Chain A
Amino acid sequence: MRAVENALGITIPDNARIIRNLISGIQYVQDHVVHFYHLHALDWVDIVSTLKADPSKTSSLAQSISDWQKSSTSYFKGVQDKLKAFVDRGQLGPFSNAYWGHPAYKLPPEANLMAVAHYLEALDWQRDVIKIQALLGAKNPHAQTYIVGGMSIPVDPDSQNALNAGSIAFMNGLAQKAKDFVEKVYIPDILAIAPFYLDWAGYGAGVGNFLSYGQFPHDTVSNTDNLYLPRGIILNKNLSKVHPVDHQKITEHVTHSWYEYSDGNDKAKHPWDGETNYKYTGPKPPYEFLDTDEKYSWIKAPRYDNKSMEVGPLARMLVAYASGHKRVQEVVNSVLKKLGVGPAALFSTLGRIAARGIETLVIAEQIPVWIDQLARNMDKGDLKIHYGEKWDPSEWPSEAQGYGFYEAPRGSLGHWVKIKNQKIQNYQCVVPGTWNGSPRDAQGQRGPYEEALIGTPVANPEQPIEILRTVHSFDPCMACAVHVIDIHGTEVTRIKVV
C-alpha cells in the first residue's frame, strides 16, 4: 500500500493516517501480549509446578507487584483447581510432552501459578481488545479496509453506517482495557519473572546491529522526522549514534538460499531489481539434515550496507532510546533500574523480552491519543478517508517506482514496487522474518537467530529449552529447525522451534 502510494505520489488524508495508526497500534499491543503469554511464557514458566503452589502466597505475590483486581487467594485457588481438574482428566492437550521439571525452570510454584492465571486471562483479553482493529479493519485478522490512497471505512458522526461517536466510545473503552492489562499485569509480570532469569541478560545478543524503519506517522508517511517511533540504525551496540536509513543500501543475498540470480548467486540485489527465481537443491524429503555449507533456506539474506541487522521491538526501542524519545527513555530507564542492570543488558534474550513489553506500554498509552485525534477531526467536519485522484489506473504515469516502509509487530517490513503501463513489473517484499531468520550471506555473515545462539549454554542436550528461549525471544513467524549435535557430529536431538 505504502509502496504504491509512494510510487504514485499519493498523500493519504489525515483520517486514514489515524485509522492506520490505530489498526497497527492495537495490533502491537495484542500481538506482543499473545507472544509473551502464549508463545513464549512456557519456556520460562513450568505449568506443572503450579499444582504445588500455595494460592495464598500467590495472592501475596500478585498484590505486592500490582493493584490488578484479580489477585485474591480464592481467585488463584480457583485457577489451580481448574488446572488440577484438567490434569486429572488425563488429557494434557497442548501441554503434553514439554520439558516440565527441567532444571532451567527457576520460578517458585507460586509465581508459576500467577503466570498461568495471567496466561488464561490474556487469552480472553486479547479477543476483546483487538476489536478496535475488527471495527476499523472490518475483521481481524486480515483487515480488509486498506485501499491505495486511504481507507474504505467511512467517517461520519451523523451516520449509523460510519465511524461515529459511538465508535469512538467503543474504541476508548477497549483502549482503556488494553492499557490497564499492560500496566497492571504484563509489565509487572515481566518485572517479577526477570529477576529469576537475570543470567539471560548475558545470552542471546545476536548481531548487535539494529534497524527500524519507524512507525506511526504524526502527519504524512513521507515526513520521516515525525514518526512516533523513529527511523534509524544502531551499529555495533553503540547507543551514542543513530544512523539514518537509506533504502538504497538494502540488498538481498541468495548464496545460501534456494534461489538463483541471473547474474550470479554471489551478487546482492536491491529489491527494485530483485529476482525470485526459485531452485531447490536440498535433499529429497523425507530428510534428517540440510547441508548448511550449501544452500539451506527458503529465506533470502537481506543486508543493510552489507551488514546483518536485527529488527523488531528491541531494534525499535533501541533506536527510539538513542534518538532521545522521551517516553521510551523513561520506561526503559525505569525497567533497567528495577532490575538493577545497565543498558548493556538490553543486548540479550532478556532484553528482547523487556523491549517488547516496554514498547507495548508506550503504544498502549498512545492509542487513546489517536482515537482523540480522530474524534477531533470528526468534530471539525473533516470526513475525508481517501485520496481518489489516482484511484483509476488510467491516471497513472506509464512508469513509476516506489517503496513503502512499515514496522510490523515483529519488525521492519519493506515493499518495493515497479509499475509499467499500469501493471506491476516487479514487486519485492523484504519481511521481518527474513532479516532475523536469514541464512548466511555471500561473505558468510550469519543472521540474527544464528548469531544469537552462539555461546548459549545447554544443560541437557536432550531437552534444549535454552535454544527455544533465545529463538522464541525474536517472535519468529515460522517454524525453523535447530539441530543439537555433539562434538562427534552425532545428532543428539532435533528441535523444531515453533
Chain B
Amino acid sequence: MKFTSDDSLDKFAESLESLKKKGISRRDFMKFCTAMAAILSLPASFIPRIAEAVATKKPYLVWLEFQDCAGDTESALRASKPTFAQIVLDVFSLEYHETIMAPSGKSAEKSLQDVVKNQKGNYFAIIEGAIPMKDNGVYCCVGGRSALDIAREVCGNALATIAVGSCATWGGIASAKPNPTGAVSVEKAVPGITVVNLPGCPMNVENLTATIVHYLTFGSLPNMDSHNRPLFAHGKRIHDNCERRSHFDAGQFVRQWGDEGHRKGWCLYEMGCKGPEAFFNCPSVKYNEGTSWPVQGGHGCIACAADHNWDLMTPFYRRLPVVPGFGVESTADKIGAGLAAATAAGILIHGVGRLISPKKKEEGGE
C-alpha cells in the first residue's frame, strides 16, 4: 500500500486502533517502530510507514532447522523489537518451527505442507543450519526426508528465504575442514532462490526483525553486499565502529587477560581480535537488547559472520597479520602509536576489495 505524507498520520492512527484490539499498547508499538527505524537508519518520517506495514499485514513464516544447534532459535526467543510473544501472536504467523510449535510428527508436517501448498510464493522461509550434500544428504534427515529435499521444496516456493546464523549462510562449523558431510549454505544448496543472509553465531535477532520489517515497509528486501548480507547490518567494519578504536589508534593494546590494559578496555588486536576483517553491526546494536558484545566482554571478535572463519580466521588468539591467508601487515611486531595509521590503511585496502565486488552476484557467483 502506498500513501503520501499527508494521509500517513490518519493511516497511522487507524493502525493503532487495530493494534489495541491485538492487545499491544500504543507506547510499546511506538517504541518498536522507532527502534526499527533506528536500526534501519531511516529518518523519523518513516516511522508511520513502518507502523502501518506491521499493523496491517500478518505474513506467513516457516522456520526450518537442519545442521544446527538451535542457537538462532534461542536468539529469536531474545527478540525485543518486537518480542517473541508479539511475533508469535501478533506480527507474524509462525506456522512451522520444530522447537517451538505445539504439534509433532505427521501433524507438524501437515502444518508445513499447508503453507507450502496454500501460500505458495507468499511466505518467508527462515533456515537455520547447514545442508549436507554428500551421500544423498543422509547426514541430516527430518521425517525420512533429506534436508536438501526439504529445502528445495520449501525455499523454492517461498517469497524469500532468510538464512539465519553462520551455518545456514556459509556452512558454519559444520562446513569447517575437513567438512565430512559436505555441509553448505542454503544458497549453495538451492541455487537461484532469493536469499537474505544473516550470519553470526548466533545471528543477531534485531537484524532478523529489521529485515522483515524492511520488506513490509518498502516492499523490497534490504540492499545487500556481495554475500547477500543486508548493508544496514554488514555495511561497516567492526574495527571502524569499535568502542576500543581510539586505543588501537593510540597504540594501547591488551597483552594479557586481566592486565591493566584489559581492565581499562584497551584494544584486543594483539589478543587476536578479528574486528579489522569483520563486517557486522555488533558494536552499535550489541546482543541481548544492548547488554554486551564480545569486545565489550573483553574477548576479541572471531569474525563469526565472515565466510569460513573456522578455517580462515584461526587461530583465534593470534593477531591478524599472521593468520594464514592474510599477510596484510608485516610490521605488526613494531606496532605502536606511530605505526597504527599505516596498519589501518593496510587493512582498509583489503576491505575496499570486498566492498566493490557486488557485481559478482549478478554473474551468479559469490
Given contacts A144-B299, A145-B299, whether A98 and B288 have CB atoms under 8 Å apart is: no
Check if A139 sits within 8 Å of B293, measured CB to CB: yes
Interfacial chain B residues near A141, Cβ < 8 Å: 71, 74-75, 202
Check if B287 sits within 8 Å of A134, measured CB to CB: yes
B41 within 8 A of A: no
Number of A interface residues, CB 8 Å?
78
Interfacial chain A residues near B84, Cβ < 8 Å: 123, 127
Return the CB mask of A53-91 against B: 1 if under 8 Å, else 0: 000000000000000000000000010011001100101
Check if A124 sits within 8 Å of B83, measured CB to CB: yes
Given contacts A91-B58, A131-B288, A159-B264, whether A137 and B95 have CB atoms under 8 Å apart is: no
Query: Which segment of A191-199, A203-211, A279-287 sits at the interface?
Result: A279-287
Most buried by B among A145, A154, A155: A154
Q: Nearest chain A CB to B237's CB is how many angstroms away? A: 19
A390 within 8 A of B: no
Check if A138 sits within 8 Å of B299, measured CB to CB: yes
A152 to B74, CA, bound (A): 23
B342 within 8 A of A: no
Check if A86 sits within 8 Å of B135, measured CB to CB: no
A139 to B137, CA, bound (A): 33
B292 within 8 A of A: yes
A144 to B23, CA, bound (A): 37
A99 within 8 A of B: yes
Interfacial chain B residues near A97, Cβ < 8 Å: 103, 107-108, 110-111, 114
A218 to B248, CA, bound (A): 39
Interfacial chain A residues near B109, Cβ < 8 Å: 496
Which of B93, B265, B317 touches A91 (beta carbons < 8 Å)? Answer: B93
Interfacial chain B residues near A139, Cβ < 8 Å: 202, 287-288, 291-294, 297
Check if B144 sits within 8 Å of A96, measured CB to CB: no
Check if A130 sits within 8 Å of B95, measured CB to CB: no
Query: Which segment of A317-325, A378-386, A441-449 sits at the interface?
Result: A378-386
Return the CB mask of A159-177 against B: 1 if under 8 Å, else 0: 1111000000000000000
**Chain A residues numbered 74-130 whose CB sits less than 8 Å from any CB in chain B:** 78, 81-82, 85-86, 89, 91, 93-99, 120, 123-124, 126-127, 130
B298 within 8 A of A: yes
Query: Which segment of A34-42, A179-187, A228-236, A354-362 sits at the interface?
Result: A34-42
A280 to B182, CA, bound (A): 14
B143 within 8 A of A: yes
Taking residues whose C-beta sits less than 8 angstroms from the other chain, chain B's interface range is 35 or more
Kindly report which residue of chain B lies nearest to residue A161, judged by CB atoms. Answer: B265
Return the CB mask of B92-110 against A: 1 if under 8 Å, else 0: 1111111111111111111
Interfacial chain B residues near A452, Cβ < 8 Å: none
Q: Nearest chain B CB to A163's CB is how many angstroms away? A: 9
A1 within 8 A of B: no
Check if B21 sits within 8 Å of A85, measured CB to CB: yes
Most buried by A among B89, B142, B146: B89
Check if B100 sits within 8 Å of A94, measured CB to CB: yes
Return the CB mask of B156-167 against A: 1 if under 8 Å, else 0: 000000000000
A246 to B21, CA, bound (A): 60
Kindly report which residue of chain B lies nearest to residue A463, judged by CB atoms. Answer: B107
A156 within 8 A of B: yes
B149 within 8 A of A: yes
Check if B100 sits within 8 Å of A388, measured CB to CB: no
Interfacial chain B residues near A463, Cβ < 8 Å: 107
Check if A144 sits within 8 Å of B302, measured CB to CB: yes
Kindly report which residue of chain B lies nearest to residue A482, judged by CB atoms. Answer: B105
Check if A94 sits within 8 Å of B263, measured CB to CB: no
Interfacial chain A residues near B22, Cβ < 8 Å: 82, 85-86
Check if A127 sits within 8 Å of B263, measured CB to CB: no
Q: Nearest chain B CB to A93's CB is how many angstroms away? A: 5
Check if B257 sits within 8 Å of A498, measured CB to CB: no
**Chain B residues numbered 177-214 whose CB sits less than 8 Å from any CB in chain A:** 180, 201-202
**Chain A residues numbered 295-327 whose CB sits less than 8 Å from any CB in chain B:** 298
Q: Nearest chain B CB to A185's CB is how many angstroms away? A: 15
Most buried by B among A91, A124, A289, A384: A91
Check if A468 sits within 8 Å of B104, measured CB to CB: yes
B310 within 8 A of A: no
A122 to B296, CA, bound (A): 28
Kindly report which residue of chain A lies nearest to residue B107, judged by CB atoms. Answer: A97
**Chain B residues numbered 259-316 whose CB sits less than 8 Å from any CB in chain A:** 262-265, 287-289, 291-299, 302
A70 to B216, CA, bound (A): 34
A91 to B60, CA, bound (A): 9
Check if B257 sits within 8 Å of A94, measured CB to CB: no
Kindly report which residue of chain B lies nearest to residue A34, judged by CB atoms. Answer: B77
A426 within 8 A of B: no
Check if B23 sits within 8 Å of A78, measured CB to CB: yes
A120 to B23, CA, bound (A): 13
A78 to B147, CA, bound (A): 41
Interfacial chain B residues near A160, Cβ < 8 Å: 265
Kindly report which residue of chain B lies nearest to residue A386, judged by CB atoms. Answer: B257
Interfacial chain A residues near B102, Cβ < 8 Å: 42, 47, 94-95, 98
A139 to B204, CA, bound (A): 10
Check if B104 sits within 8 Å of A496, measured CB to CB: yes
A147 within 8 A of B: yes
Kindly report which residue of chain A lies nearest to residue B83, judged by CB atoms. Answer: A124
Check if A96 sits within 8 Å of B298, measured CB to CB: no
Q: A152-B297, A285-B138 are in contact. List 16 more A-B contacts (CB 8 A).
A: A85-B23, A91-B93, A94-B100, A97-B103, A97-B114, A127-B288, A135-B297, A151-B257, A152-B257, A152-B298, A285-B149, A286-B145, A384-B258, A388-B256, A391-B257, A496-B143
Q: Which 6 A-B pairs have the closest CB atoms?
A: A138-B297, A161-B265, A495-B105, A134-B288, A139-B287, A98-B102
A-B pairs with beta carbons under 8 Å apart, 16 shown? A38-B77, A78-B23, A93-B88, A93-B94, A94-B96, A97-B108, A131-B288, A134-B291, A138-B297, A144-B299, A150-B258, A154-B257, A280-B135, A463-B107, A496-B98, A498-B98
Q: Which B residues form the contact surface with A (CB < 8 A)?
A: 21-23, 58, 60, 70-71, 74-75, 77-80, 83-85, 88-90, 92-111, 114, 135-139, 141-146, 149, 180, 201-202, 256-258, 262-265, 287-289, 291-299, 302, 317
Q: Which A residues form the contact surface with B (CB < 8 A)?
A: 34, 38-39, 42, 47, 78, 81-82, 85-86, 89, 91, 93-99, 120, 123-124, 126-127, 130-131, 134-142, 144-145, 147, 149-156, 159-162, 278, 280, 282, 284-289, 298, 383-386, 388, 391, 463, 468, 477, 479, 481-482, 493-498
